[in-house]
Each structure stands twice: as structure tokens, then as C-alpha cells.
Structure 1
Amino acid sequence: MKRTAILLAAGALSLSVLAGCSAKPVANTPGSGASGDTIKVGLNYELSGDVASYGQSSVAGIELAAKEINDAGGINGKKIELIKYDTKSDTAEATTLATKLMAQDKVVTVIGPATSGGMKAQIQVAAQNQVPIVSGSATADDLTVTNGKLNEYVFRTCFNDSFQGTSAANYSTEKLGAKTAVIIKDNSNDYSKGLAASFDAQFKAKGGTIVAEEAYAKGERNFNSILTKIKGQSFDVIYLPGYYEEAGPAIKQARELGITAPILGADGYDSPKLAEAAGAGLTDVYFSNHYSSADSDPRVVTFIAAFKKANNAEPNAFNAVGYDTMKFVADAVGRASAVNGPAVKEAMESTKDFAGVTGTFSVDPATHNPVKSIVFIGYKDGKIAVAEKA
């Protein structure tokens, strides 16, 4: 009888091992974000520090989307549980928090940070933990593909810098009739340098001439020496890619010096603080963006109404891309073969015709970039006067 009991115990152990092999991934599976009745999603955003406006706006959109999804029954019956941390606009902190979200909190995916530098700081952590990371606003060309190699667990729901810079050059020549341009870039910022390089190449390809190229450093607030230097030259437009903190003062000072040429930028301009810094000088200023509140698409109209109700404020592009990114993640988790990092990554790669408030897009599996349109926002007298897709 003793021998029989041993054999029965051994058989039971064998069956339990076999059952474990055939079961769906559980908590110790990479990025296994399902726990009970919830699915854990990490938010790793700049909620304080230099670019807090981007992070705060993105998270407001994410939280609205998550609430809508949960109110509608969740993802396959499970509610989204958001685990939110503040990177303090610091890339080292972004790495530390990404590790915590993946290894300790066991999230199925991490949304954020908003900036390319913050996202790049997580690439190795994502690969090691097999947990996808997604941003709605990190636009650096080499984020998803570095030195020709796809970063398997990195995705974005926005277009990249090359597309923005190229589109700005096309807009300058085709819509504004520009033949000559000045470039003023942040020499300490990959975002600004990448945009400037793609604008330069496309503007020249369209037959234009770059008459001058000037540089500033992060945190610059006095642009008078640069602007005085270019004022005596003849040019049709200024391309000033960068963030609103520097762009606002530069625009204001340019207008005060009597420089009336149109000034173009990119999605880093999208903040209420741009108008605060630029003041009355915010005229003939155009920037590429992901979304326009003037869009009459029913999805956009519904989103704007819901955001205003929840936040008592008009949504900006970072609110919109945050909203879309959360919906994109939920869509992928809902279609995934299992609730874990590798399965969700595969579902993200196979996304087709995702309909969001920033446009309908499919994910290019070779680059993990969305294929989508771009919007140009134009200001006159401090107010939006132009909003058109290109």
C-alpha cells in the first residue's frame, strides 16, 4: 500500500506538470498583466519637471479612455488597472520606473513616456522583460528601429520626425510658396536635430535654398543674438523645431525685432504655454501635429465633448494621442492570444485600420510605426486660424 501511494502521488505530480504546460500564461510569464478581474497597464510619464505639460496631458487622455473602456465592461470582462509613476522628466528615472512596473508590478504593457529620450531609456528593459512599451508622442526616427534593427518591444501611435520634417518642407513650399528658409534648431536635442535634418533635405529636394542655419541649447530664453544675425538676410520662412519652452520666447522676440516671415515647428509646440510665452507674436506660426480640435469627424466631436465633461478643458493633441494610445493598447490586449507581453506584442504588430481620434492607422510590422496622416495647425493673432490634413 505504501508503494501504491507513492506511485499515485508521482502520477498526480506528473499530471499537474502536464496541466501547467498546457495552461495559458500566468503571473510568472513575461508581462503577465492579468490578476483576478483586472489587467494591469503601466503609465510611466513626465508628470513633473521640464516637459510635465506633455506627460500630464497624455495621462489625462489615457485615464479618460481607460474609464470609458471600464464603464463599457472592460477588456473581455476584465477591468483596466492603471499603475502610474512620475519620471520627473528624467531619463534615468524612466529606466528605474520601467523596471519596477515590469518586474514588480507585472504590467502587461507600459504606456509612456511622452518624449523620445524617455522612451529610449526603456528599450533594453522592455526587451529583457518581454513587455511592450508604447508612446503616443515619441517621434525620434531611431526609437522603434535602431541602426537598421527593429526594437521588438517598442511601438508608437504617432508619426516619426522624418515624416514631420518632410511634411513641414512640403507645406512651406506648396502652401506658403517658400523658396528660401532659415533653420534654427536645438543642438542639444535629438528631436530638434532630427526634424531639422529631414526638413533641410526635403526643402532642398523641392528646389528651395537654406540661407542660414543657427543653433541654440536647451533652456535658452534669449534669442536676440540669433535673430539679429538673421534679420538682415532675405528668407521666406523660419523652421524652428523644438519644444514650446524655447519656441515661445523665440517667436515673441522675432516679432518684436520686426521679423514677419512665417515660423514653422512641430508637435513640440502643442501646449497652452506656447501662446503664453509668444504673446501677440503668435501670428503666421504653423506646426505639424497629430490632431485638430476643429476636425468635424464624429469620433473627434465625441471625444472633445467627453474630455470637456471630464476635465472642464478643451483637449489638446497630447490628450488625444494619450486617449488613442490607451484604446490601441486595449484593442491589442483584447485580440491577444493570452494576456502577456509577447502575445500583446504580436497583437500590436497585427493592428489594421485602428480608428482613433488622431486618425485611422495600421501598424507597419517592419517598423512598429503607424501609417497615418498629419495635421498642420496655423495661428493668427494668438488663435488657431488653420487646421488642415496633409
Structure 2
Amino acid sequence: MGKKKIFKSAIISMGIIFSILGAGCGSSNSNAIKVGGDLELTGNNASYGTSAANGAQIAFDDINAAGGINGKKVKFIKADNKSDPAEAANAITKLITSDGVSVVLGACTSSNTMAMVRIAEDQKVPVVSPFSTNPKVTVGDNGKVNSYIFRACFIDPFQGTVMGNFATKTLKAKRVAVYIDNSSDYSKGLAHFFEESFKKNGGEIVDEEAYLQKDSDFKATLTKIAASNPDMIYVPGYYEEVGKIIKQARDLGITVPICGGDGWDSSKLVKIAGAQALNNTYFTNHYSVQNKTPEADKFIKEYKEKYQTDPDAAAVLGYDAASMIIDAVKRAGSTDPKKIKEAIAGIKDLQLVTGKITIDKNHNPVKQAVIIEFKDGKQIFKQAVNPQ
């Protein structure tokens, strides 16, 4: 090879190296603000990730239509974590090192977000999870707050306490069976906090059983649960298995109330369980389309126009998480991940679709919960519960 060709080749090679290095640093020299989306777009929890992506996209489209943030447009780069913790870790690595994002929105399930924590902390890129409610997402087993991890949703101690009080005071339940997804940090954590609250109110846990994600036949365990003669069954799982559990429980003649958490909120639940089977079931959630506010009405209208369906909780929380990121980037005046992290930590009285929030010292939002009842396949707003 001649000297000119060698020199030219070296210049090209250096250009490639610099472009790779530039892509991985969240540089403020970019013409766009790059926001990553580490979301469950396929797999067992695809309903959540797809809804969250749709909700977030509306927020980013709206701000771009208004001229962007500080004169820059937002580029939302989505990566599919396939509803799997190992894939969630791979996705955030790609978003940070290859795509050069300054902040990441996701994941939706607690196990997937927890798989992202160490990478986000090491790379010093903030993460805002829309829908992960396990306390360990933001505070590790060592009691230390994860500096770069935040969320848009309430946490399981609050959600579990709300349902524990509802079971005791409204449903008048005294004997409860608990049916846990043993492969889910979310399910195990929520069950713990519900049991703690229910027993504190004088209730008795008469049976505790377990299943695994992707199980499909629950009849043997449900027969055992029925034999314990509970007043209510608590199933803190995700819609795919919950729908089958409720359908099979009703097929076995179990008529007592069945209750759960926000993991129930998917349009697919009614398709899986059937409208009739869902009567006399209740779950804690982040919002209700029937709990009217100007912010909710505006978002619901936009969402229905774009996607021809009512938004579920994951969609709303995707929008809220995106709104938190937009607010933080505006106030940071920069795409520097550290400055964005500090701005998210400083959120105070920010009005979102799910209510006004302030981020507390553990990086969790202080906000209300709602209780939803199913009647003939329709979600009916039962009551709102504010944090104490």
C-alpha cells in the first residue's frame, strides 16, 4: 500500500474511532437530546413496555412540536429487553455505549430495572423507571440509595398497605390466602407488604402458595387454596398469569373476592380471564380514566386519537416518566447525565397525569394510589388513597 493510501486509511480509521467514542458519552454537542428506552416490547410483559413506549412517545412528540428542549429536539431510542433481566442489562449497555443516550426511560418490571442498576451507576447515566414498584429498585440491600435510579410510580410498601386496609375495612376480610409469583421480585415484595398490613389490622393469612411465570395450569393449587376457606385471595402478579388464575378459580367455583396490584393493569387481562370471571375483583393502581383532572383528560384524548384505545397505567406512567425527564433536562440546561440526575432528584410539586409529585430522599415520588374494581369487564374507579 502506498504512503498516500496509508495516510488516508489512518484518517478514516481515526474518524471511526472518534465517532464511536462520541456516541458513548451523552455529548452536549449533539443536535438532539438522546433519551433511551429500555422496555419490554416483546415477551411476557410486552403489554407494559409497549404501553409505556407509546405514552412516552406522546410526551416527546409534544415537546418536539413545541420547539424541543432548550432549542434541541428529543430523539427517543428504544431497545427491546424482551421481558428478561439479562436482556435489560444488554439493552441499557447498548443504549449508553453505542447510542450515546444521556438518560434512560425504563424498564417496566422491577426485576428488569434491578438488572440495569449496576450498569447505570457505573456509567453514571440516570434511569427513570415508569412502572417498577419494588423498593430495591432505588435503595439497595445495603440501605444505600442508588444515585442514578429514579421512578415515576409509587412503591410496594404503600401499595401493599393500601390493599391491606381495603381488604380489612371495605371487604371486611379476616382470612386471606396469598398466591405469589415466586419468579418475580415485584410479586414477592408486594405480597410481603400486603401481609404485613393485613396482619397488623388483625387479619390472618390462612394459606400462602406459589407459581412461576409462564405456568398455565393453576387448578391443583387453587383447589388447595379453596380448602383453606379464605374470605379473599390476594394475587400480586402480572396480567398474563393473573388472568388464567382468575378464570380457573371461577371455573372451580371460587367466588370470593380476588385482589392484586398494578401488575394487573392491561387490556389483555379481560381477554385472558373473561369479563364475567373478573367480577368481584379489585386492584391497586396509579390512576383511573374516571378520576378526572385537566392533565389526565388532555393525555387520554391524545392517546386515544393516536392509538385508538384508552391508556392503561403503564402508558400513563410512560408519559409521566418522559415528562420528568423533559422537566429535568430543561432545568439542567444540559445533556450532561450528571446534571440531569441532579435535576431529577430536585423535582418538587411537578404536575403529572397521575398527580403532583415530589421526589423524596430515596428517589421515589410521593403520590396517591387508586383502587379499581372490575364490573362486567370494565374498570370502575373505587377510591383514591393519599400517602400518610
Shared fold per TM-score greater than 0.5: yes
- 3-state SS of 2:359 partner: strand
Q: What TM-score does the superposition give when structure 1 sets the normalisation length?
A: 0.90
Quickly say closer, same or farther: Cα 1:239–1:338, change in 2 above 3 A: same
- CA distance, structure 2, for counterparts of residue 212 and residue 246 of structure 1: 19
Shift in Å, 1:383: 1.6
Question: Paired residue for 1:334, among 299, 306, 330?
Answer: 330
Aligned AA (2:243): G
The aligned amino acid for 2:356 is T
The alignment's C-alpha RMSD in Å is 1.6
Aligned pair in 2 of structure 1 residues 249, 35: CA closer, same or farther (>3 Å)?
same
Q: Structure 1 residue 199 and structure 2 residue 194: aligned? A: yes
Q: What secondary structure is seen at the aligned counterpart in 2 of 1:377?
A: strand
User: Structure 1 residues 67, 387: CA separation in 2 closer, same or farther (over 3 Å shift)?
Assistant: farther
Residue of structure 1 aligned with 2:245, choices 241, 245, 250: 250
Tell me the secondary structure at the aligned position of residue 368 of structure 2. Answer: coil
Matched to 1:39, the amino acid is: I
Q: Which residue of 2 aligns with 1:172?
A: 167
Alpha-carbon displacement from aligned partner over 1:157-199 (angstroms, at most 9, x marks no partner): 1011222111110111122121221111112221111111111
- Which residue type is aligned with residue 116 of structure 1? S
1:259 aligns with 2:287: no
Could you tell me whether the CA contact under 8 Å between 1:262 and 1:285 is conserved in 2?
Answer: yes
* 1:91-130 aligned within 5 A: 91-130=85-124
Provide the rounded CA distance (Å) in 2 between the counterparts of 1:318 and 1:249. Answer: 21
Tell me the CA shift for residue 121 of structure 1.
1.5
Note the C-alpha offset of 1:35.
3.9
Aligned residue identity for 2:244: P
CA distance in structure 2 between the partners assigned to 1:242 and 1:162 by the alignment: 15
Bigger Cα displacement from structure 2, 314-323 vs 216-225: 216-225
Note the C-alpha offset of 1:32: 2.9
Aligned to 1:325: 321
Inter-partner Cα distance in structure 2 for 1:291 and 1:31 = 36
The structural deviation recorded for 1:337 is 4.9
- Equivalent positions of 1:1-390 (< 5 A) are 32-147=26-141, 148-279=143-274, 280-364=276-360, 366-390=361-385
Rounded Cα–Cα distance in structure 2 between residues aligned with 1:250 and 1:186: 11
Aligned positions, number:
363
Q: Is the partner of 1:184 in helix, strand or coil?
A: strand
Cα deviation code 1:287-322 (max 9, x no counterpart) = 111111111111111111111111111111111000
Q: Is the 8 A contact 1:33 1:40 kept in 2?
A: no
How far did 1:233 drift? Answer: 3.1
Shift of 1:150: 0.8
| Distance apart, 1:234 and its partner CA | 2.8
Q: Which deviates more from structure 2 when the two are superposed, residues 185-194 or residues 242-251?
A: 185-194
TM-score for both structures, normalised by structure 2: 0.90
Alignment-mate amino acid for residue 336 of structure 1: A
CA distance in 2, matches of 1:331, 1:30: 23
- Larger deviation: 126-135 or 99-108? 99-108
DSSP 3-state at the match of 2:217 = coil
Question: Which shows bigger deviation, 34-43 or 282-291?
Answer: 34-43
Which structure 2 residue ranges, 5 or more long, are not aligned?
A: 1-20
Q: Which amino acid aligns with 1:294?
A: Q
CA distance in 1: counterparts of 2:29 and 2:382, whole angstroms: 44
Alignment partners' CA distance in 1, 2:217 and 2:307: 34
Moved more, 211-220 or 142-151: 211-220
Residues 223-261 of structure 1, C-alpha deviation per residue, up to 9 Å, x if partnerless?
Answer: 111121122333221111101111101111111222111
**CA distance in structure 2 between the partners assigned to 1:72 and 1:283 by the alignment:** 44
Q: Secondary structure at the match of 2:314?
A: helix
**Structure 2: distance between partners of 1:116 and 1:76:** 32
CA distance in 2, matches of 1:60, 1:213: 37
The structure number with the bigger radius of gyration is: 1
> 1:31 touches 1:109 (CA, 8 Å); kept in 2?
no
Deviations 1:59-89 (A, max 9, x none): 0001011001111111111110111111112
The alignment partner of 1:40 has SS state of strand
User: Which structure 1 residue ranges, 5 or more long, are not aligned?
Assistant: 1-26
User: In the aligned structure 2, how far is the partner of 1:65 from the partner of 1:88?
Assistant: 23
State percent identity of aligned pairs.
Answer: 46
3-state SS of paired residue (2:91)? helix
Q: State the Cα distance separating 1:335 from its structure 2 match.
A: 0.4
Distance in 2 separating the partners of 1:90 and 1:232 = 35
Q: Distance in 1 between matches of 2:213 and 2:43?
A: 14
| CA distance 1:47–1:222, shift in 2 (3 Å) | same
Name the SS of the counterpart of 1:385 in structure 2: strand
- Cα distance in structure 2, aligned partners of 1:371 and 1:263: 27
Q: Secondary structure of 1:370's match? A: coil
Partner of 1:18: none
How far apart, in 1, do the equivalents of 2:67 and 2:186 lie? Answer: 39
> CA contact under 8 A between 2:233 and 2:256: conserved in structure 1?
yes
Please say if residues 236 and 260 of structure 2, whose CA atoms lie closer than 8 Å, have aligned partners that are also in contact: yes
Contact 2:257/2:282 (8 A) holds in 1: yes
